[in-house]
Amino acid sequence: MQEVIELKDVAKHYEMGENIVKALDGIDIKINKGEFVAIIGPSGSGKSTAMNLVGSLDRQTKGSIFLDKRDVSHFSESELAQFRGKKIGFIFQSFNLIQNLTAKENVILPMIFQGTDKYEREERANKILALVDLAERMDHYPNQLSGGQQQRVAIARALANDPEIILADEPTGNLDSKTGEKVMDFLKELNKKGKTIILITHDKELAEQADIVYYIVDGKINSVRKSKSKLKKKVVSI
């Protein structure tokens, strides 16, 4: 299988006065194209730090991180931002929408950063928002949308540059259970269409829906295993 992300003996340490906090202490993660991977752990386990490193949002203290077998430690910040912008789409628990932009403008923004032609930006934003059933709400601002609708905008924004990888950080955390299930179904549908999905969660039931589950405890990988749950649910509109 084609490898898209690999962390080799990666650590992230923080200096807190005279103490060193080891948020991550030498982890190995390998993610192949088209996989659905979950990284799970309790609060303070290091899973959010792992997310930042897997998504190249932060630099490691030691170890190596590879995207498409390229060592990103040799990238400049601008090179990393461009590569990350094309390769990875991010979905956050708190949505992270820009409040003074409409749903459509939020989706268009990542394409502007990648230099996409204006006509193509407009056309693609319309198409993606229709895909997440928000065609009639695209001109609304985030405060005019429900939590579920805002998360759908966040998903649409993550898809804006047609990334190979979707990194979802607690994507159902601020949603009711029914809407959360629909979001998970949508992620699984994206996975069936070939997207690599990386789910960061503390929820064991959500993690069990992934193909491979990494358990992080105290900054280390405690165990890695294939999920028992391989059931593919029927996708419903969110």
pLDDT tens, N- to C-terminus, the chain (238 residues): 799 999 999 999 999 888 999 999 999 999 999 999 999 999 889 999 999 999 989 999 999 999 999 998 889 988 888 888 889 999 988 899 999 999 999 999 999 999 999 999 999 999 999 999 999 999 999 999 999 999 999 999 999 999 999 999 999 988 888 888 989 999 999 999 999 999 999 999 999 999 999 999 999 999 998 865 554 444 444 4
What CATH number was assigned to the domain covering residues 33-58+76-226?
3.40.50.300
Other Cβ atoms less than 10 A from the Cβ of 54: the count is 27
Sequence ranges of the domains in the chain: 33-58+76-226
pLDDT at 11: 96
pLDDT at 228: 58
DSSP letter, residue 95: -
Rounded to 5°, angle at Cα 238 from 110 and 149: 55
**pTM exceeds 0.85 for this model:** yes
Other Cβ atoms less than 10 A from the Cβ of 21: the count is 10
pLDDT at 74: 84
